[in-house]
Amino acid sequence: MTTTTSDGKAAKMLDALQSDLRALCMETKKRYPHIKDSCEEAIIKVRGASMNPQSSLSQITSQVLYPLVQAAETKDPKIVKLSLSLMQRLIVADVVDANSGEHVVETLWMLMEAGIEELKVLQTVTLLLTTSAATQGPTLAKALVLCFRLHFTKDATVVNTASATVRQLVSVVFERVVAEDAKYYMEESGLNAGEEEGDDQNINLEELKVLSANSPKTLRPAAADAYLMFQDLVQLVNADQPLWLLGLTEMTRTFGLELLESVLTTFPTVFYNHPEFNFLLKDRVCALVIKLFSPNIKYRTSVPASMQQATPLDKPYFPIAMRLLRVVSVLIQKYYPLLVTQCEIFLSLMVKFLDGDRPMWQRGLALEVLHKLATQPNLLQSFCTNYDMKPHSTKIFQDIVNSLGAFVQSLFISPQSSVASQHGNNSPGGGQGQSPALLAGMPVGPGVSPQPAFFYRGVYLPLCISIPTGQAKSSYLEMLDKLEPPMIPDGYGVSVAYYCLLDIIRSIHLVMMGPNAPTEAHSGMNEQYDPSEEDRKIHEQLVNSAWCGLLAALTILLEACTDEAATENILKAIQTFASLAGKLELTTPRDAFITALCKSCLPPHYTLTVLNNASVAAAASSSVSRGHQRSPSAESQHQYYDSEVRHQVVAVGTALATPSLPVGAQQGPVMLTNKNLQCMRATLSMAHCHGGVLGAAWHLLLTTLQHLVWILGLKPSTGGSLKAGRSTAETNAVITTAVIADLPVLSSMLSRLFESSQHLNDVALHHLIDALCQLSRESMELAYTNREPSLFAVAKLLETGVVNLGRVEVLWRPVTNHLLDVCQHPHVRMREWGVEAVTYLVKAALTHKHSPPLKDNQKLQTLLLSPLSEVSLVGHPDVRQKQLESLLHILHSCGELLHHGWPLILNIIGAINDNHSEHLVRLAFQCLQLVVTDFLPLMPWSCLPLTVDTAAKFGSQTQELNISLTAVGLMWNISDYFYQNQEKLRVSLTSDNQVFPDFPGVPNMPPFDKLWMCLYARLGDLCVDSRPAVRKSAGQTLFSTIAAHGALLHNQTWQAVLWQVLFPLLDKVRQLSDSASTDKVDQGGNILIHHSRNTQQKQWAETQVLTLSGVARVFSTKQKILQGLGDFPRAWALLLDFIHTAALSKSNEVSLAALKSLQEMLQAGQSPNPARLRRLALTCTLTLPSRSGRFHCQLEHCLEGLAHHRQ
């Protein structure tokens, strides 16, 4: 089927060829019979070919072509036209071989020189060279020259057609090379390919340096033609004679540069695959480019024309300069690996195009090229690797960025200082100007919306182009039809520079984070950066080379920008670069960019020492020294613009005092604009997304946020979040309606910032906490001078702590230690928030779900409760009150979980003294009551002695009598708990010297007995309290407890009860009673006291009665147990001494009680010393007869008891 179709097409073509030959025959039969005869012969040949399928048209091409050449030689337009049409038909049929092609080209050359059918000639040449590759060598050269010469005729149509033809054919020549290479590599085996490579390596470059019309022998035919053609193109652009394109007498540099650019752009593989072409590129093209750079570099608009001493040829010519930079752009972008050294020169020369004394069109062209380069991350990395990182090499990448910084700065020179050049606004200043209708730097008028622009110190430059991120869009590099320098509109230079700077940062980010990394500023939170050592060095150099120039430019652009979207782009770029520097731990550039970001949040001239880093500013300014340095006169000239508020004021507040501001010094009202708040949001975003790399720069950032929060009147609330003050009187801030709605949003952003700290690693979290502590210390220092401090840092420490409770061990100590310092501050608001933060944090930590659970984690319980316990050391009552209120809340909410935390809780409760107010004592006692009522079963046994001691402390406090009495009652409840849980306690208790005190004389006292001894000892201490009611209550409780639960004690423990509790109590009571005053007690108020208790001595007499009676009752009721003690006789004798002394007391009440005790002992039964007991009774009988009837009655009872005892 395919063969049939092919045969059909061939038959049709032969028929058409015969028809055309007949037409030519008819046209020439009268005037040119010899041509007619040739045509007839050709027709016969063609007819024969059509009748004989075995024959081929290519075999008779020469016979067919002969009459066509003869027809062309007639130069008759009509005949020539027919001839060329027939030639084209043969060419299309692909039957023209190299020999025939030579005849065709010769014929076309003749027609070209005669100026006949020029368009048809161009069409035929194009077909000849594009249809097949048969035309090569000198024939190809002649065909190309033919087209070149037609390009320089006077007919515009012919010129344009020839121009397009030349461009096409030059590409065709190189396309042949590509096809030839592909065919060769496909056919050759791996071994032969290796041999070819070896041949390439043996090329003699010295021979190539000698210009020759012959191609290198190592090149295949198509490559040889391309080599010679490209060599001649360079020669022609260099104004030298061609060696291969013979006959080409005229060539413009502009057209030649365009052809070179086209070849270099389209066929880089040819130059990479063939060392011969590589040589041409390095040796000829680069030399040509450097030569053509010369007039552009030497010419300066700042030098008067009379002093330039340059011929018109040396003056920069826009068409050549523009095309030259296009070629340079291609060389750098596509051939950098081959031209590392040459590109260093190109880039250095191009950087000089940005100097302030260059025409603006030159600067614009250079900016467009630099923008193309800036969008290519790999290229920037190569610049840095091959230049900036080499010890003795020019830091090209650094120079590029610094020149951009200097260029941006130079644009904002006052227009009066600009030097006009030959082309109006092509002054070095870049066409700065003031729009005729401006308000605050922005165009105004009916129906006019402000154009995005940059306005700085009176210079207004619109942002006049819009380019997508990561793309370069050239305007002036594309003006191939312009002969004169174009008028550069205001703002074009700064617009391209703006996009160039953004793309440099984007490219550095892609180099560091990988080609698939998101380039948004908020993408940093989840970015992983783990480079190799080599890559890290490259990345560090990229950042070190770029940061000064970027900072110088972006800082001024950020300040000058009047458009919200453009401002946002600049802010994102600053955030990204600061993050990259942070990832590399390059603190100087990181802090410099963060400082710039922070400064943009605050009004101009705001006094904030921490943001005035002189060393960083000096480094940045020295690196862009070519930038304009403002003179004092310029500063004063534009004073108006500095004081002018260029954007809408949305908030007016007071400045936050700083330690560096002298006491009494006042900063005036502070005005915040929409732009300040936009920058504040960017700063929050920076901290939120890149907190992990901020390090010590957290302090800069948090200081700024603290000042902004103060100006906006945001105050801390529960949990550390910030809310607007309830009234303007409270905040001293004037906020517009629009911003009032934004304040909750800003507050939420602030909270989310610190919530995000849970995603930071431990090191980064410590940096954040250190910064907050440092900021808080500065506020504390301020508060010492009685100036209103900011509570921002304390509030945010709390917020940070709450969201990081999952790793509480990491942050707990540094956070709570600082908050404890704050709690001790003399400034009321300061310490209020200190204790608020501590208590809130402890409560939140105790209710947090920990792993392992808090209930089973002794270390964690101790850690969490320790700060609350340490608050007890603070002397301020308001702090202690908050502490106790929090403890009460903790006991109610999670007391059942705190198995291991009871020692700390009891210490907090027990840390009261007589200096505390009644309210504090009452609050602490509420906690104790709750503990005794609800938590004794949950408490470890080791805390029970401490519980007893704590209850005793409340019994002994003197602020509130009722609390003391209730505390004694609690001790009864505790004893009841001991009794009811005796089995469990006996099993769990162990002898621990750190828990129980020593009880001399009873070395092996069981732990359960020790527990009771602790209770008896504390009650015994309360029995000698200064207040009668407490003594009475404690005495009754003591003896009731012994009576009720004494049977639980081991026998030997009773020795300790007697000698360490009861007898010391008797002795102390007797001493205090003897020394008590007999003066009447003045109770104050309207309280009535019975006459029997109106002196201290009488009150102590009551205590003595209670004590003596109680001890005697113990001896009488526990006699069987006590008799088993080895020193019972001594104890019995001592008790009788106490009774004897009491019986002889001046107080009838005490004497009577002594007789009752004596009677009780006589009635008790066996005595270890009956004689002693009788003597005591007789003594009482003889010495007390003068007392009242009650005594006689009691004596009679004693005598009866004595008689009974004798029997």
Give the DSSP per-residue string, 747-782. HHHHHHHHHGGGGS-HHHHHHHHHHHHHHHHHHHHH
Per-residue b/e over 131-152, b at no fewer than 16 CB within 10 Å?
A: bbbbbbeebbbbbbbbbbbbbb
Mean pLDDT of all residues in 768-784? 93
DSSP SS3 for 459: strand
Task: Quote the domain boundaries for residue 110.
Answer: 1-134
pLDDT, greater one: 740 or 159: 159
Q: What pLDDT, on the 0 to 100 scale, is given for residue 38?
A: 87
Question: Sorting pLDDT into bands at 50, 70 and 90, what band is 1091?
Answer: very low
**Residue 1129, domain CATH:** 1.25.40
Residues 1019/975, Cβ–Cβ less than 8 Å: no
Q: What pLDDT, on the 0 to 100 scale, is given for residue 1103?
A: 92
Question: Sorting pLDDT into bands at 50, 70 and 90, what band is 912?
Answer: confident
Question: What Å distances lie between residue 1035 and 711, 963, 1012, 1038, 1145, CA to CA?
Answer: 64, 17, 16, 5, 21
Domain for residue 761, yes or no? no
CA 841 to the chain's CA centroid? 26
Residues 11/53, Cβ–Cβ less than 8 Å: no
472 and 494 within one domain: yes
Mean pLDDT of all residues in 40-53? 78
pLDDT, greater one: 2 or 745: 745
pLDDT beyond 70 at 690: yes
Q: What pLDDT, on the 0 to 100 scale, is given for residue 627?
A: 42
* Total tally of structural domains belonging to the chain: 4
- Which of 84, 118, 134 is the last residue in one of the domains? 134
Domain for residue 1047, yes or no? no
Q: What pLDDT, on the 0 to 100 scale, is given for residue 1054?
A: 93
373 and 241 within one domain: no
* Separation of alpha carbons 512 and 846, rounded Å: 43
DSSP readout, 524-559? GGG------HHHHHHHHHHHHHHHHHHHHHHHHHHH
Query: Per-residue pLDDT tens for 544-578?
Result: 999 999 999 999 999 999 999 999 999 999 999 99
pLDDT beyond 70 at 965: yes
Q: Identify the sign of the CA torsion 351, 357, 358, 360.
A: positive
Q: Please state, for a pLDDT cut of 90, what percent of the chain lies above it.
A: 52
208 and 94 within one domain: no
Q: What pLDDT, on the 0 to 100 scale, is given for residue 477?
A: 92
Task: Return mean pLDDT, the chain.
Answer: 84
Query: Per-residue pLDDT tens for 1117-1131?
Result: 888 888 888 888 899
* Separation of alpha carbons 813 and 566, rounded Å: 44
Question: Sorting pLDDT into bands at 50, 70 and 90, what band is 975?
Answer: very high
Q: What pLDDT, on the 0 to 100 scale, is given for residue 1124?
A: 86
Question: Sorting pLDDT into bands at 50, 70 and 90, what band is 199?
Answer: very low
Domain for residue 814, yes or no? no
Q: Parallel, antiparallel, or unpaired: how do β-strands 649-653 and 734-735 relate?
A: antiparallel
CA dihedral 470, 475, 476, 480 (to 10 degrees): 120
pTM, 2 dp: 0.83
Question: Sorting pLDDT into bands at 50, 70 and 90, what band is 208?
Answer: confident
Query: Per-residue pLDDT tens for 500-513?
Result: 999 999 999 999 99
Question: What Å distances lie between residue 917 and 543, 907, 984, 1007, 1027, CA to CA?
Answer: 62, 18, 39, 37, 19
- Which of 88, 109, 134 is the last residue in one of the domains? 134
Query: Per-residue pLDDT tens for 125-176?
Result: 999 999 888 889 999 999 999 999 999 898 999 999 999 999 999 999 999 9
* Separation of alpha carbons 1185 and 1180, rounded Å: 8
Question: Sorting pLDDT into bands at 50, 70 and 90, what band is 733?
Answer: low
pLDDT beyond 60 at 797: yes
228 and 123 within one domain: no
Count CB neighbours of 336 within 10 A.
18
Question: Sorting pLDDT into bands at 50, 70 and 90, what band is 311?
Answer: very low
Q: What pLDDT, on the 0 to 100 scale, is given for residue 732?
A: 60
Q: Which of 84-98, 271-285, 453-467, 482-496 has the weakest average pLDDT?
A: 84-98
* Separation of alpha carbons 833 and 835, rounded Å: 5
Query: Per-residue pLDDT tens for 451-469?
Result: 899 998 889 999 999 999 8
476 and 383 within one domain: yes
Question: Sorting pLDDT into bands at 50, 70 and 90, what band is 835?
Answer: very high
324 and 335 within one domain: yes
Count CB neighbours of 809 within 10 A.
10
Q: Which of 87-101, 298-312, 1029-1043, 1153-1167 has maximum average pLDDT? A: 1029-1043
229 and 324 within one domain: no
Domain for residue 883, yes or no? no
3-state helix, strand, coil in the chain (%, to 5): 70, 5, 25
Q: Please state, for a pLDDT cut of 70, what percent of the chain lies above it.
A: 82
> Any bridge partners for residue 672, and if so which?
651
Q: Which two tokens stand for residue 1127?
A: 């020193």
Domain for residue 507, yes or no? yes
Domain for residue 899, yes or no? no
Using left for φ > 0, alpha for ψ between -120 and 50, and beta otherwise, residue 1122 falls in alpha
1202 and 1110 within one domain: yes
pLDDT beyond 80 at 436: no
Question: Sorting pLDDT into bands at 50, 70 and 90, what band is 198?
Answer: very low
Q: Which of 634-643, 719-728, 1139-1148 has maximum average pLDDT? A: 1139-1148
* Separation of alpha carbons 136 and 222, rounded Å: 7
Mean pLDDT of all residues in 1064-1075? 92
Question: Sorting pLDDT into bands at 50, 70 and 90, what band is 1093?
Answer: low
CA atoms within 13 A on the CB side of 83: 28
145 and 69 within one domain: no
3-state SS track over 1139-1189: HHHHHCCCCHHHHHHHHHHHHHHHHHCCCCCHHHHHHHHHHHHHHCCCCCH
Query: Per-residue pLDDT tens for 607-663?
Result: 677 777 645 555 666 666 544 443 333 343 344 344 444 457 888 888 888 877 665
243 and 309 within one domain: no
Count CB neighbours of 615 within 10 A.
9
The gap between the terminal CA atoms of the chain, to the nearest Å, is 155
Question: What Å distances lie between residue 449 and 438, 452, 676, CA to CA?
Answer: 12, 9, 21
pLDDT beyond 90 at 1156: no
Domain for residue 1034, yes or no? no
- Angle value at C-alpha 1005, between 1004 and 1008, nearest 5 degrees: 140
Phi then psi for residue 915, to 5 deg, are -80, -15
Q: Which two tokens stand for residue 691?
A: 């907190």
Q: What pLDDT, on the 0 to 100 scale, is given for residue 30?
A: 81
Q: What pLDDT, on the 0 to 100 scale, is given for residue 888?
A: 95
- Which of 567, 591, 607 is the last residue in one of the domains? 567
* Separation of alpha carbons 10 and 405, rounded Å: 69
Mean pLDDT of all residues in 380-396? 93
| Helices within 459-532 (DSSP H only) | 492-513
199 and 152 within one domain: yes
355 and 311 within one domain: yes
Domain for residue 855, yes or no? no
Query: Per-residue pLDDT tens for 593-623?
Result: 999 999 999 988 786 777 776 455 556 666 6
Residues 1103/1023, Cβ–Cβ less than 8 Å: yes
* Closest C-alpha among 573, 430, 597 to residue 499: 573
Query: Per-residue pLDDT tens for 106-136?
Result: 999 999 998 988 999 999 999 999 988 888 9
* Separation of alpha carbons 799 and 720, rounded Å: 5
DSSP readout, 802-861? HHTGGGHHHHHHHHHHHHHHHHT-SSHHHHHHHHHHHHHHHHHHHHS--SS-GGG-HHHH
Question: What Å distances lie between residue 1130 and 784, 1005, 1172, CA to CA?
Answer: 66, 21, 12
